[in-house]
A and B are shown apart, each in its own frame.
Chain A
């Protein structure tokens, strides 16, 4: 079952612009993760933010987490054409055992 929704479903920007994707979820979580998927291939882990953290950075990525609103955002700064992919948030829910539940995903296209 899908834990939450991602917004927008699709995003098209020019190279150099910033891209912001949002994720909402429904249950209490231990952590939230963001993954990237190039077309028809496996998922690559980008960043993990724990439930007691509010913001995390990794290179050009910035993730925020608001547990009161049950939402997270992923910001990619200075986007590149190579960032074109689908981005998914995934939650590790409390009392859910070892499982990740994925949001619907945002398809990002970065035009050169």
Chain B
């Protein structure tokens, strides 16, 4: 199984709503990522979890709250979002690099959640 599964595929939420995005992988990867992608732009890293611990937070506003309940699951909790937060949210997973030269960090991406904030 080389899939990263994201749910839901599409989400429309109001600015006062609370919702969660979910991501699941069963490849034994111990690094998981959230990226945000606006139209015609590259993915921008939001968070990295390594061995279920948050290792990188790219100065993301607190209205985005990540959670890694176990090694297969990654959630992104959303609260009080703004219309400008509308984007494609991508989850990815990879092996954890151990040696800088030998590290193989091929990332497997989910199909994304298309989020619209109204």
Contact = CB atoms under 8 A, between A and B. Distances in A.
Interface of A: 1-2, 30-31, 33, 35, 40-45, 48, 50-52, 88, 90, 92, 94-95, 97-105, 107
A94 B45 contact: no
Contact of A99 (B45, B90, B104, B114): B45
Nearest to A96: B56
A105 B94 contact: no
A50 B101 contact: yes
A88 B92 CA distance: 15
B116 interface: no
A63 to B, nearest CB: 14
25 contacts: A1-B58, A31-B104, A31-B105, A33-B107, A41-B111, A42-B4, A42-B112, A43-B43, A43-B92, A48-B104, A88-B43, A90-B107, A92-B103, A97-B48, A97-B56, A98-B48, A98-B97, A99-B33, A99-B48, A100-B33, A100-B92, A100-B105, A102-B43, A103-B42, A105-B41
